[in-house]
Structure 1
């Protein structure tokens, strides 16, 4: 009897149905965290979403032309919100048949010719364009829009989404932006131009003629959700509603997720992440690690998974770089730290750094005093690692020893690096923790 119970228990642990359910959940959540699927919910941007929804819907349903800039830091949900609006609009059969969408990215479409080819491809007008020759960019774009007109001479509404909008402002004469805004303003064709950018000063990049044709509508996404919203977003990403997974397993999964949302350890991890970075994509990295730990013996996430995920994802890259530099370079970093403290954040030059280093090395008989040329080479290596940067610009003719520099490392990162640095001399640690010698 006991042996049969053991057998049934072991068979339950390796239940093929449960294994398949775990794999299905992992596949779905990985897809969700890799941003290839829309977010299950939106939080904190109801007003902004409503403004954009009304604007785009008027173009899609009544043919009203519009232009707008969506501005906010990376990972604040700008593109995700636009995708959810488009997906909601095309649920209407009339809008789905008429509304066309063109997505451009300033990092990919680096000039107007490439952008025009991409517009032609997405509108599926390669055959219509053929080998025709046009005198200007405006004529070509207008021909493409005219080609979309049907028998009643009414053109299909087009939604233009320009990701990395500030990069398009660097195109020669800003021709693409000028023509799109001009068409939107003059109602030559029903289009809605939505620029997406993280630069708050993007308007200043536009030429006067482009500004005159832009509507100056701006919608800001400023990560204004609360900590509770952040926790809700986290749990909404973990919850499952798909049908391929067994219903009983889904219920148990969502029940465990609900428990996690109330667990003090998990909430501490989320609180730490919220204070450090509100970017939802950073949250994705934590959740991706948690989901990847699932297996047949551990089918549900645990609080310890969140703690470990936070340790892995919050590794400071600059502190890690400091672990690999030489003792001499570490001494130069400490000298720069002292100079930054003395002069209240003002720039310094190599001669000042060398003077601080020399005073330290001369007072410590156990420390080797390197020649100035060797120290300069170490200083240049720190510059190449981008731990230090020049404030004079690349075109300056000032001798490199006197070029003004600023330190790109926070004092807390230096302290952390010294604690973990392998076989760091005691006097170096003491020098870093005390005031300037």
Structure 2
């Protein structure tokens, strides 16, 4: 009997988790026994994320060779990221939230409220200083402490400086570079072991979510879920499709290339779960390691298209829940706020919910509204994480072609070999 592949195992874990959650709805035993499975898996993922991003950026930057080349690549990368995330916010805010009014006509008493105390605490930490302080804090005073806390932006900053320093050393820096190459390879290999427990982790995560909030509790929020996923799909097809066509990337072929990783990300609602595999496939697809190691990890902090769509829709949804009519100027202000706060998603414990809470406070919207979204955040996060990963992978190919470094021969050989293997 042929062994089931990892994506099929994960899908089975997802299905069985939903079934268990529905059958044992409101049964505290489900959380008692299944939550450790999800917690262990997520801890394993978080354990390898920082070392992978750290070593990958160091290797990528050192491989680029000089600051002038990095400056050109960095400018193009940030420019593309900013355009993509701004369009994502516009799509969520103006094309879907205002067109479909997901929060209008909802009876708030029927909604299951989640616990948002931890997000409020994190948001208060964010608001202790201004956005200037946020920028200042990107520069770490203790890189080991930043790594321990999982603060990606300070880690990225330190990694870039270290990579530039190794490159500036020339031949003397080669032993250090070789160490990081070996270390990066070891971390990628470690992920293979971590992913073996992914089906159990997915089973635990979804099982607890469904048993806690129940399938019925999702009905009043169904409009938000449908609207958000419609926005995800439209953005995915139209924006990514047009960008792929503009830079002559075979869109359907590229989706097939990453289908296993996208299934993994969707099932776990974690963009980090597929980071090593995505980077490995991009290199085989024809992108140089130096660009992949620079664009993809930095994209996790600055190119969060799915999260931008989600936060734009969720903000207007909460305003509509409370009957707040936001004027065009107020929505433009909200868009500008989201353009700033979305850049800090990966650097804040709690992710999109924490940043959304900060955005609501800045826009003067009721913070209590987040309690109604917290219960279904895992379901919405499945889609936004998938969009984020695909957007960063496509960005690596776009930047590679923009830099005229795409290896067409390697790409052709890999596609032929992959199709033959299938």
Same fold (TM over 0.5): no
Higher helix share: 2
TM range (shorter): under 0.3
| Higher RCO (CA < 8 A, seq sep 6+) | 2
> TM-score normalized by structure 2?
0.18
